[in-house]
């Protein structure tokens, strides 16, 4: 494979710089650190926060179709707008926002390759202007596209059937020594380990030093040759809360052209907290014991 399967979803920082005032394009920053946008953003970019904008504040879920439409309208994003996502941390949150936009059926989504890091390395301009206000749109969101989102029962069935599951967390989280990334608060799950059957391919292996994605050939080698994943059938990716796995979801679906990839956004903070779920500890993928069934219903 000489080039990405869908090279059109990835744009360079140079391309973004040339399209800053294109009315058909909205550049969106999504970060782990919310203050980075205030500190300096791509001129004209708006900010969408994964937590306070995209997630419901009470129920652990996304904001829902109506509020998604309101959010897009308020940021001047119409159904036809091309949205270019970028952010800190090798575009984790950018990929996460991209995934949520796809969930609600937004068609034209792009990722600015390399994110904040590459923009900075290029020596490009950062703006400290307050977020620009664009004319409101009459955005109409679609029903969530569940072909890209996996839920726990489906993940259990999937792995029990021996289908491909990718754990994109750090090696220590996979083996169960750590409950979160190294240097992150070790909280969020009561048990350590991974979903039985999952192969470990840390997300960071897909990126280069300058924050951009590795070339197609190297990605192919990593995911397909070394770890045996294939384009046919369904692949599910997960991490701790679904952000790093949306990065891998993007790589598999758009850069390698896998036909059917889902992000399990419940991820380890759901799986590692549920009563009775099978867990594998150690470096081996393992498998779900056939007799082990989680008790999900109770009587009396």
Partner 1 sequence: MTMPVAKLDQIVAEFADLEPRERLELLLEFAEKLPPLPERFVAERDAGLHRISECQTPTFIWVEIVDGRVQIYANCAPEAPTVKGFVSILVDAFSGATPEEVAASPDDVLKRLGLLETLGMVRMRGLSAIQHYIRQQVRKAAAD
> What are the residues binding partner 1 (CB under 8 A)?
33-36, 38-39, 49, 51-52, 55, 88, 130-131, 181, 183-187, 241
Choose, from 72, 95, 109, 239, the residue flagged as catalytic.
239
- The distance of closest approach from Cβ of residue 282 to partner 1 in the complex, given in angstroms and rounded to an integer, is 24
Distance CA 292, CA 276 (A): 8
Active site residue 109: no
Q: Which residue from 266, 264, 272, 267 is spatially nearest to 189, judged by alpha carbons?
A: 272
Distance CA 18, CA 240 (A): 36
- The distance of closest approach from Cβ of residue 183 to partner 1 in the complex, given in angstroms and rounded to an integer, is 6
Instruction: Please state, in angstroms and as integers, the Cα–Cα distance from residue 269 to each residue in 16, 38, 235, following that order.
Output: 35, 30, 20
Q: Is the dihedral of CA 63, 64, 67, 70 positive or negative?
A: positive
Residue 99 CA to chain centroid, in angstroms?
6
Q: Which residue from 263, 265, 242 is spatially nearest to 254, judged by alpha carbons?
A: 263
- The distance of closest approach from Cβ of residue 185 to partner 1 in the complex, given in angstroms and rounded to an integer, is 5
DSSP assignments along 108-119, one per residue:
-EEEETTHHHHH
Distance CA 298, CA 201 (A): 36
Instruction: Name the 3-class secondary structure at 235.
Output: strand
How many other CB atoms are there within 10 angstroms of residue 214's CB atom? 16
- The distance of closest approach from Cβ of residue 49 to partner 1 in the complex, given in angstroms and rounded to an integer, is 7
- The distance of closest approach from Cβ of residue 93 to partner 1 in the complex, given in angstroms and rounded to an integer, is 12
Q: Could you list the active site residues? A: 239
């Amino acid at each position: 494979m000489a080039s990405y399967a869908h090279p059109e979803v990835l744009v360079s920082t140079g391309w973004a710089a040339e399209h800053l005032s294109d009315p058909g394009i909205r550049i969106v920053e999504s970060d782990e650190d919310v203050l980075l946008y205030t500190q300096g953003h791509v001129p004209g970019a708006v900010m969408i926060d994964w937590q306070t904008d995209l997630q419901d504040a009470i129920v652990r879920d996304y904001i829902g179709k109506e509020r998604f439409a309101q959010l897009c309208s308020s940021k001047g994003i119409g159904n036809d707008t091309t949205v270019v996502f970028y952010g800190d941390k090798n575009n984790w949150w950018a990929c996460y926002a991209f995934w949520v936009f796809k969930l609600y059926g937004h068609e034209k989504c792009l990722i600015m390759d390399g994110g904040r890091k590459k923009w900075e390395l290029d020596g490009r301009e950062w703006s400290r202007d307050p977020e620009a206000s664009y004319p409101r749109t009459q955005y109409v969101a679609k029903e969530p596209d569940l072909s890209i989102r996996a839920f726990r029962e489906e993940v259990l069935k999937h792995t029990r059937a021996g289908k491909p599951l990718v754990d994109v967390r750090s090696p220590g989280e996979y083996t169960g020594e750590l409950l979160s990334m190294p240097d992150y608060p070790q909280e969020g799950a009561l048990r350590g380990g991974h979903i039985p059957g999952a192969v470990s391919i840390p997300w960071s292996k897909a990126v280069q030093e300058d924050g951009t994605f590795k070339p197609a050939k190297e990605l192919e080698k990593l995911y397909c040759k070394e770890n045996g994943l294939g384009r046919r059938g369904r692949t599910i990716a997960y991490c701790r809360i679904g952000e790093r796995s949306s990065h891998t979801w993007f790589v598999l679906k758009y850069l390698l052209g896998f036909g059917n990839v889902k992000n399990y956004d419940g991820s380890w903070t759901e799986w590692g907290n549920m009563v009775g779920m099978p867990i594998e500890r150690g470096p081996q993928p393992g498998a779900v014991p056939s007799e082990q069934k989680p008790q999900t219903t109770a009587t009396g």
